[in-house]
Amino acid sequence: MRSILEELKQRDLLKQFTNEEKILNAQNEGAGVYCGFDPTADSLHVGHLIQIINLKRFKDFGFAPIAILGGATGMIGDPSFKSEERSLLTLEQVGKNVDGIKRQLNFLIPDINVINNNDWLGKMSLIDFLREIGKDFNLAYLLAKENIASRIEKGLSITEFSYTMLQGYDFFRLYEDQKCWMQIGGSDQWGNITSGTDYIASRVGRENSKACGITMNLLTKKDGVKFGKTESGAIWLDKDKTSEYEFYQFFVNQDDEDCEKLFKFLTTLPVDEINLIKEEHAKEPFKRIMQKRLAQEVTTFVHGTEGLAKAEKVTEALFSGDLMQLDKSELLATINSMPKIQVKGNLEIIDLIVESKIASSKREARELLNEGAISINNNNTFEENTIVDEKLFTVDNFIFIKKGKKKYFVVEII
């Protein structure tokens, strides 16, 4: 079997690693590999996908995947390259978030070992922390770490300053209890990961330590913007926060120049197969072959084959204009993914079209109606004085209006 390092290099994922010999030994021994997730919300989002896929990737290369949920450290906040202190969450908020993320991870990687670091850190007193952990961290060593040094001038509390020590202790506990010899993370986690390998070496002896770490390149778009940031906010992995259709469309709408990197980072497809998809796409780029295949792969991973089928059904309904084939939940999911225009009810349809800014004037609205260019619920024959009431509602108090062949508007009747 190829080494995991070769796989990461081929995918342009590899940023830094501590010790190649120890990494290869961990792979050969089927050791544990872990990544941490801070429970700042009750769902992960697409920005977390790279590390979730990496845990799956490491599993395919013989490692035992472990996810640490920061039930304790999440109440503090990681200072790594953040511009300011995080708002502190309550214990109840963190507990709810941990439960939500654990369900997601167990679905995405069924045999993953999900562990809450509050199981040990929550039982530790301040004196225990100072004696057990603090004595093994030199102040000069911590201040030299880039993720801490970058915050010193702007202000860094003792609370967040302690984060890297607690994460180092997490690694030690997994090393001792779970045969976990490796930690992975984004490139911004290098300081925290090396705190763990160094702390383990101080506990078991540097010559005896099998601990190692790898960081991955951060996933950014061609313009340098961090992947997953949109004007409307995060793209969540929870279908109740971001519908399967919205999730699918997010990937369908990616730029050609970003697709190859997204394939390498967010799927386990072999690089040779990715290159073939790229070649096929180049012949007829207007068909968006790369985008559609990418959306299929990632949506299937996150939402399963049923979620993909649902996303493709909504996509086809919008393309064909036959929205009435969708059930209520699918219609509402589609509505939630689109901007909405609020208009008062019981207007004549010609006034509704103008107030919704579908047309700029009554004259234009009249022309659209006469040409049959306005369609509501598969009907495009309306008198201009037709009253818009619940008989025209598509679902609940929403009306889907199609202008021409492809342009859709969602009007919310208030």
Q: What's at 318, amino acid-wise?
A: L
pLDDT score at 120: 92
- Considering the candidates 15, 103, 229, 362, report the single residue annotated as catalytic: 229
User: In the structure, what pLDDT confidence band is assigned to residue 86 with cuts at 50, 70 and 90?
Assistant: low
Q: How are strands ordered across the β-sheet holding 407-413?
A: 340-343, 407-413, 398-403, 374-376
Q: Which of 28-32, 153-157, 404-408 bottoms out in mean pLDDT, i.e. has the lowest?
A: 153-157
- Tell me, rounded to whole angstroms, the distance of Cα 11 from its chain centroid: 19
Check if 48 is active-site: yes
- Considering the candidates 16, 40, 159, 178, report the single residue annotated as catalytic: 40
Check if 11 is active-site: no
The helix-helix angle for 328-336 and 244-252 (nearest 10°) equals 50
- Considering the candidates 11, 22, 48, 210, report the single residue annotated as catalytic: 48
Residue 125 has pLDDT above 80, yes or no: yes
pLDDT score at 390: 85
- Considering the candidates 12, 99, 188, 256, report the single residue annotated as catalytic: 188
Q: Is 188 exposed, middle or buried (0-12, 13-18, 19+ CB in 10 A)?
A: middle
Residue 394 has pLDDT above 90, yes or no: no
Check if 340 is active-site: no
Q: What's at 312, amino acid-wise?
A: E
C-alpha distances out from residue 133 to 129, 200, 212, 338, 339, Å: 5, 11, 19, 50, 51
245 annotated as ligand-binding: no
pLDDT score at 346: 82
- Burial 388-412, CB ≥16 within 10 A → b, else e: beeebbbbeebbbbbbeeeeebbbe
Could you tell me which residues come within 8 angstroms of residue 87 by beta carbon, excluding any fewer than 6 positions away?
none
pLDDT score at 220: 82
Residue 131 has pLDDT above 90, yes or no: no
CA distance 66 to 71: 15
CA distance 209 to 52: 26
pLDDT score at 78: 57
34 annotated as ligand-binding: yes
pLDDT digits (tens, 9 = 90+) for 15-36: 999 999 999 999 999 999 999 9
4-216 maps to which CATH number?
3.40.50.620
User: In the structure, what pLDDT confidence band is assigned to residue 231 with cuts at 50, 70 and 90?
Assistant: low
Check if 73 is active-site: no
- Considering the candidates 15, 59, 86, 264, report the single residue annotated as catalytic: 86
178 annotated as ligand-binding: no
| Topology (CATH level 3) of domain 244-336 | Tyrosyl-Transfer RNA Synthetase (1.10.240)
User: In the chain, what are the domain boundaries?
Assistant: 4-216, 244-336, 340-413
Q: Which of 7-11, 83-87, 144-148, 350-354 bottoms out in mean pLDDT, i.e. has the lowest?
A: 83-87
Q: What's at 61, amino acid-wise?
A: F
- Tell me, rounded to whole angstroms, the distance of Cα 323 from its chain centroid: 29
pLDDT digits (tens, 9 = 90+) for 248-290: 999 999 999 999 999 999 999 999 999 999 999 999 999 999 9
CA distance 177 to 96: 26
pLDDT digits (tens, 9 = 90+) for 191-222: 889 999 999 999 999 999 999 999 999 888 77
% of the chain residues with pLDDT over 70: 95
Token pair listed for 273: 């197969």
Check if 283 is active-site: no
- Tell me, rounded to whole angstroms, the distance of Cα 10 from its chain centroid: 23
**Closest by CA position to 332, among listed 377, 262, 398, 376:** 398
Check if 189 is active-site: no
Check if 226 is active-site: yes
Angle at 8 between CA 171 and CA 56, to 5 degrees: 60
Residue 138 has pLDDT above 80, yes or no: no
pLDDT digits (tens, 9 = 90+) for 139-148: 777 777 776 7
3 state DSSP class of 53: helix
pLDDT score at 389: 84
CA distance 241 to 100: 12
pLDDT score at 230: 63
Q: Which residue has the higher pLDDT, 171 or 385?
A: 171
CA distance 20 to 26: 10
3 state DSSP class of 190: helix
Find the mean pLDDT for residues 303-327.
86
Find the mean pLDDT for residues 84-102.
82
How many helices, marked H, and strands, marked E, lie in the chain? Answer: 18, 10
User: In the structure, what pLDDT confidence band is assigned to residue 335 with cuts at 50, 70 and 90?
Assistant: confident
Check if 396 is active-site: no
- Considering the candidates 18, 27, 164, 167, report the single residue annotated as catalytic: 167
296 annotated as ligand-binding: no
- Average pLDDT for the chain: 88
Top mean-pLDDT range of 98-107, 156-165, 331-340, 378-387: 98-107
Check if 230 is active-site: yes
The helix-helix angle for 289-320 and 271-283 (nearest 10°) equals 60
User: In the structure, what pLDDT confidence band is assigned to residue 319 with cuts at 50, 70 and 90?
Assistant: confident
Could you tell me which residues come within 8 angstroms of residue 221 by beta carbon, excluding any fewer than 6 positions away?
227, 255, 258
Token pair listed for 395: 């679902």
Report domain 340-413's class: alpha beta
pTM recorded for the entire structure: 0.84
Check if 327 is active-site: no
- Considering the candidates 15, 82, 278, 403, report the single residue annotated as catalytic: 82
- Considering the candidates 45, 56, 59, 313, report the single residue annotated as catalytic: 45
**DSSP letter at 44?**
-
